[in-house]
Structure 1
Amino acid sequence: MTGVVDVANAKRRTRNGRIAILGAAIAWSTAGLGQHALEATAATQIAGRAFFAFVFLLGVVVFTERGRAIASLRSLGLSGVIVTVSLAISSGTFLFALNYTSVANVLFFQAAAPMLAALLAWVVMSERIAARTWLAIAVAAVGMSVMVAGSLDAGALAVLLPFVMTTSFAVVIVITRHRQEVSMLPATCASQVLVLVVLAPFISIGSATGSDWTIFLLLGFFQMGLGLTLLTVGARMLPSAEVALLTLLEVVLGPLWVWLAYSERPTATTLVGGAIITIAVIVQATASNDPAPMTAPVLAVPAPDSS
């Protein structure tokens, strides 16, 4: 009888994990939809989302840590500092990038973060990379090259910002994998405070309309805060490969929402490069015998999508 109960509990855990990860991907996919409706300056957009994300995440941290929020953050040490700074850069450059290039371009760049994280771990921590992962990295590199070539006419920032976003998110993945035994949620919350502090001199409150503040709240609570919280829950219930595969829903839905609402059609190079990167992610995510790919950190973030 015990075995039957254990199987039922395992199935329920898997189902709940999948629901959480799919919910996170759906939440993240709305970033471009919200950003396109904003009239505030870029710095104000990022700060507005960061403020409400901080409020939401602070509530989650206080509830889950039960009075140990500050102590938990301190216990992370240098790892917590690196995650805080890297996630602040990733989430900040994500919205900045949406002001200079298409939603599809940003999201497909972000999809390459797990492979970049594996490469970074190999360079910094000498972590072995399986043959399958090397193949995924090579394929992703081709896809990113295609998109970079197609974005050059939009200016350097159209390439630089998505690259910085993806690289900083890869750093977050590496650190959170290295410190799997602790939750990085307090560092996630602190990252939004850092975003606010850095952008404070550049914020123009007067540039934000009444509707902008509503969108800031929705982006902060739903797109960023809820998305991170759901992934934090779901990533502990599913294998890393499955998490990586399910989060691809964001890459599919993000451009779709913007195309339906604003008729923003991705360029041919973005579609081709994005398709190649998606193939690379599926190659890595469906690995069964290789070491678990670095795609599902305990905190897991965003994209700001990470983002």
Structure 2
Amino acid sequence: MPKTAVFPLRRLGALSPAGATGCMLLCGVLWSFGGLFVKLLPWHPVVISGARGLIACLSLLAFCKAAKIPVRLTGRGVLGGAFLCATLLSYVLATKLTTAANAIVLQYTSPVFVMLLCALIYRQRPRGADVLVVLVTLSGIALFFLEQLTPGGLAGNLVGILSGVANASFYVYCANACKEESGPFGVIILGQGMTFLVSLPFWFLAPPVPGAAQIGSILFLGLVQQTLPYILYAYAIRRCPALTASLVSVAEPLLNPLWVLLAVGERPGTLSLIGAGVVLLAVTAWCLNNQRLGAKV
């Protein structure tokens, strides 16, 4: 471990594979509450993103300072921060425009876009399985559009796909961030801060109405739904087996619409549910197959 590490870094860095798996699962559960609180907050989606980003940015900076984790940025890191900003903004906007299930499942397609981006940028030749998963995933996405024919629903689905592309771009350009001493914290802090800066005009165009429930919700989003899981993820990913990480990552798209259904009563249509099942099964099976092939190399 780095000599600058103190208590949090030592303890989290010493996680067993089983403990890391538990932390990864907890990350998915915490992230899954995003859809519910975005639905409950009666603020403009860009304001929600910005307020959540400001809280997460400041709290992550405080954590890094307390844990003596150096926060460094490179040119690639700045670009990664911009992609994370786009991911955060587009996801919240999609959740407001369409169902929580559609928004999170469309973002979950990001591994497919990672493959497509690698093929375009790094000239990586896709395999037959890669082409198949793209076709199957597109067929599942098409079911969302067949059911969401209203202007808002169509716009929400399109923004949801944009969220998947932005998330994929973030991972492609920040693939080596976890190998550095500071991990991904510098990129994440920058991305959250950028989200707040982008939101500033909307605080005047659509000023949020404060209240106890609203303040509690935004604090939960910033501290519990963003800061805590990012801290856990940064350490757990180093000890959690890649195959297990792929499996537990499905917790977020499965639980996200469940919380919204139980609390708000939002029910996705039949075609959307079928499409979600197709996308989740295709992407998860493809990720597991990639991990299996990688383990044999």
Could you say which TM-score interval applies, normalised by the shorter chain?
0.7 to 0.9
CA contact (8 A) 2:18 2:240 kept: no
Amino acid at match of 1:29: S
Residues 1:201 and 1:113: Cα distance change in structure 2 (over 3 Å): same
Residues 1:54 and 1:264: Cα distance change in structure 2 (over 3 Å): same
In the alignment of these two chains, the number of paired residues is: 276
Residues 1:272 and 1:206: Cα distance change in structure 2 (over 3 Å): closer
State the Cα distance separating 1:214 from its structure 2 match. Answer: 1.2
Q: 2:281 aligns with which of 261, 279, 293?
A: 279
Amino acid at match of 1:275: G
CA contact (8 A) 2:184 2:234 kept: no
Q: 2:86 aligns with which of 70, 89, 93?
A: 89
Residues 1:103 and 1:187: Cα distance change in structure 2 (over 3 Å): same
Deviates more, 1:49-58 or 1:203-212: 203-212
Q: Which residue of 2 is the match for residue 163 of structure 1?
A: 161
Q: What SS is found at the alignment partner of 1:36?
A: helix
Amino acid at match of 1:185: F
Matches within 5 A, 1:63-212: 63-64=66-67, 66=68, 68-69=70-71, 72-73=72-73, 77-155=74-152, 156-177=154-175, 181-182=179-180, 183-203=183-203, 204-212=206-214
CA distance in 1, matches of 2:20, 2:107: 22
2:220 corresponds to 1:218: yes
CA distance in 1, matches of 2:63, 2:75: 23
Amino acid at match of 2:243: A
Amino acid at match of 1:175: Y
Q: Which residue of 2 is the match for residue 299 of structure 1?
A: none
Residues 1:95 and 1:12: Cα distance change in structure 2 (over 3 Å): closer
Q: What SS is found at the alignment partner of 2:240?
A: coil
Q: Which residue of 1 is the match for residue 239 of structure 2?
A: 237
State the Cα distance separating 1:68 from its structure 2 match. Answer: 2.8
Residues 1:262 and 1:80: Cα distance change in structure 2 (over 3 Å): same
Measured against aligned partners, the alpha-carbon deviations of 1:163-203 in whole angstroms (never above 9, x if no partner) come to 11111000011112255532221110111111111111111
Q: 2:265 aligns with which of 245, 256, 263?
A: 263
CA contact (8 A) 1:108 1:251 kept: yes
Measured against aligned partners, the alpha-carbon deviations of 1:215-270 in whole angstroms (never above 9, x if no partner) come to 11100111111122222222211233321221101111111111111111111121
Structure 1 length as normaliser, TM-score? Answer: 0.83
Residues 1:145 and 1:196: Cα distance change in structure 2 (over 3 Å): same
Q: 2:293 aligns with which of 287, 290, 293?
A: 290
State the Cα distance separating 1:67 from its structure 2 match. Answer: 6.1
Deviates more, 1:232-241 or 1:119-128: 232-241
Q: Which residue of 1 is the match for residue 29 of structure 2?
A: 26
Measured against aligned partners, the alpha-carbon deviations of 1:115-150 in whole angstroms (never above 9, x if no partner) come to 111111111112344433333222212111221332
CA distance in 1, matches of 2:124, 2:63: 33
Amino acid at match of 1:201: P
Q: Which residue of 2 is the match for residue 248 of structure 1?
A: 250
Structure 2 unaligned segments of length 5 or more: list them.
Answer: 1-13
Q: Which residue of 2 is the match for residue 51 of structure 1?
A: 54
CA distance in 1, matches of 2:294, 2:146: 33
CA contact (8 A) 1:132 1:290 kept: no
Q: What SS is found at the alignment partner of 2:260?
A: helix
State the Cα distance separating 1:154 from its structure 2 match. Answer: 4.1
CA contact (8 A) 2:103 2:157 kept: no
Identical aligned residues as a percent: 22
Following TM superposition, the consecutive aligned residue runs of length 4 or more in structure 1 with deviations greater than 4 angstroms are none
State the Cα distance separating 1:206 from its structure 2 match. Answer: 4.6
Q: Which residue of 1 is the match for residue 10 of structure 2?
A: none
Measured against aligned partners, the alpha-carbon deviations of 1:40-88 in whole angstroms (never above 9, x if no partner) come to 2223212221111112221233244x2632xx12xxx221011100000
CA distance in 2, matches of 1:274, 1:150: 12
Residues 1:274 and 1:63: Cα distance change in structure 2 (over 3 Å): same
